[in-house]
Amino acid sequence: MSAKKDVEKRKADVRALLALINSSTEDAMASWEHDEGTVPGLDDEPEDTSPSPVLLRSMRVLDGACYQLTYLLRPTFMTSINQAWGLIEAACMRVAIHSKAADFLNDKPDGAHINEIAKNAGLDADKLGRILRLLTMKHVFREVSKDVFANNRGSYAIRSSDPRCAFLGFMVDEVNKYGFSNVYDALADPEYGPSRDDRRSVFSWGIRDEMPNANIFEWYNKHPELFDRFSRAMTAIKLGLINEFYPVASLPVDTKWCDVGGGMGGALVHVANTNPKLRMTLQDMPNVVEQARQHMLKECPQQVKGGRVSFVPIDFMKEPPVPDQDIYYMRFIIHDWPDANVLNIMRNVRKAMKPSSRYLIHDLVLTVPTDKGASQSKNVNAPAQNAPPPLLPNYGAGGIRPFLADINIMTALNARERSVEDVVHLANQVGLEFVRFWDGVETGAIELKAA
């Protein structure tokens, strides 16, 4: 290709990205207006609903195209600086969360001076002000006038009562301190680096002086207040709720739905409110089950008080769930475990299943290229790498969350996110057979039956 044609091709790619940005922006605005009756503003209270698959598809293109366009046109050294300094934002978010600045500003719509905010937090006003000012540039807090800060859409989400604050705190505290800060050191360690044991994860390397030979959940046993926060954090994840893309609403009356490892009921609440005529069981560790009962009493009281929801303790590594359910459902469970543990979990579920039972594994889904010359199994309808050009086939930055989650879970538990084919390969080893894939965009549910 001649130099002139090469330039024209590159300009055409830039214009194609602009076109994708325009079209996906219109699609996203239409989705917001359809679902919420409006388009969000920077100072609005954050929405408390799960994003629809339509919005997620629009944002996947928009995020990917915006990042690729700025990456193309930004000088490389500026990108390198942004990458090197990326950890600063997480450090500032940690300060904002622990200072409870958003809580202090909650009843002050006109804002408060940094001296007041800092006094309440017991921190230096100058330093805290500089930290909050940086966050305002990413739309977390709003600087009304010099040194006067108010809440906005981004900072409302870090009020201590908000589950999103628990999620952010979980990430910037224990996972960052013991995990992300130590990734290279653990990978280079001859004992930890090649291991797939959950007690030899990056996190385990980080806590080895405090608790040798322990995984994150065993560490949480010594830090119950942080485990409580972790449990609340899991209720904040509203990405791809199962009722958004699986026909929960049309399931017959008294269908038996068992949420195995259901935590505080963050997913089951939405199932119960979508189809209140189901017979539902939530299973988790004994201390979690009691928290789930209280949470669901608040969120779907009629179903709980009416006896449509049962709460049954389980250690799903050691025992099968309640038998003969129509649907066994696991959300964000198997990604917590290495393959050997996943096989054990699947084997226990398989023991409980009747011939007509279905097993739904709901997780983030990796879209990875097949080996050169290979084709995807014709029996596995996994999500295709079909992003519009010139985006990367997997949407690049627009499809990055499952891959970020993969490194996160590798760091925390030596586990992994998986492709559909990865899950089916494991399922086939324990007498389970693939039925279909339900696409929720980024997440999805893999439906299995007894072979």
* Half-sphere exposure (Cβ direction) of 279: Cα atoms closer than 13 Å: 9
Find where tokens 């300009």 sit.
Answer: 11
In 3D space, the residue among 327, 333, 298, 295 whose CA is nearest the CA of residue 314 turns out to be 333
Largest CA distance in the chain: 74
Peptide bond into 75 cis (omega under 30): no
- Rounded CA gap, 339 and 336, in Å? 10
CA distances from residue 198 to 186, 229, 260, 426 in whole angstroms, order as listed? 13, 21, 20, 18
Report strand pairing: 432-439 vs 443-450: antiparallel
335 is catalytic: yes
Task: State CA 30 to chain mean position distance.
Answer: 24
276: region left, alpha or beta (phi > 0 left; psi from -120 to 50 alpha)? alpha
Backbone angles phi, psi at 50, to 5 degrees: -80, 135
Name the 3-class secondary structure at 451: coil
- Rounded CA gap, 301 and 317, in Å? 30
DSSP for 108-175 reads -TT-EEHHHHHHHHTS-HHHHHHHHHHHHTTTSSEEEETTEEE--HHHHTTSTTSHHHHHHHHIIIII
CA distances from residue 55 to 25, 68, 166, 196, 284 in whole angstroms, order as listed? 10, 20, 25, 36, 32
* Half-sphere exposure (Cβ direction) of 254: Cα atoms closer than 13 Å: 0
Pair 116, 150: CB distance under 8 Å: no
Find where tokens 């049962």 sit.
Answer: 310
Backbone angles phi, psi at 280, to 5 degrees: -115, 145
Backbone angles phi, psi at 213, to 5 degrees: 60, 45
Integer-rounded Cα Rg, in Å, for the chain is 23
- Active-site hit among 34, 98, 223, 335: 335
Cβ–Cβ contacts within 10 Å for residue 128, how many? 22
Active site members: 335
